[in-house]
Each structure stands twice: as C-alpha cells, then as structure tokens.
Amino acid sequence: MFIATLLALAALGGYAALCALQPFVRCRKCAGEGERERFGKARTCSRCRGRGQHLRRGRRLHNAAQRTHHAGSR
C-alpha cells in the first residue's frame, strides 16, 4: 500500500516535471501533421487547429490554477 502511494506520487511528480519542461506535445490525432485526410480531402486538424501540437492537459490545468491564484491574490 505504501509503495503504491509512493509510485503514484513519483508518477505525478514526473508528469508535473514533464509539463513544466515540455508543455507542448505532438498532436496524436494528426501525428503532428496539422491536417488530416478525410474522405480523400486534407482538412485542418480540429484538435490542434493545424499547429500539429497542443498543450498538455496538465499544463492547461497548471495555467488555469495560476490564473485562479492570480485573480484571487489581488
């Protein structure tokens, strides 16, 4: 039980570090291409809007938390 908690904490810490060091990840939907082929036509990827990469979910959370904190500490 203790080891499981330790592992979970380590994973969380590793993910947080990843979010801080590498906030952008390659879009999985279009594999970083920015557009996808659909019905024979190339269309801009809706997930990354053609950028081919997007912010990590953890980083978005971090940004949102920081905004809330900033708004609350004024």
Task: Answer yes or no: are the C-beta atoms of 52 and 28 closer than 8 Å.
Answer: no
Q: Taking CB under 5 A as the rule, does residue 19 contact Zn ion?
A: no
Output the CA–CA distances (angstroms, integers) from residue 18 to 21, 24, 59, 62, in the order listed.
Answer: 5, 10, 9, 12
Identify the DSSP state of 15. Answer: H
Exactly one of 29, 43, 60, 67 binds Zn ion (CB under 5 A); that residue is 29
Q: Is 30 in the site for Zn ion (CB under 5 A)?
A: yes
For Zn ion, the closer of residues 19 and 45 by Cβ is 45
Is 47 among the residues that bind Zn ion (CB under 5 A)? yes
Which residues are near Zn ion by CB under 5 A?
27, 29-30, 45, 47-48
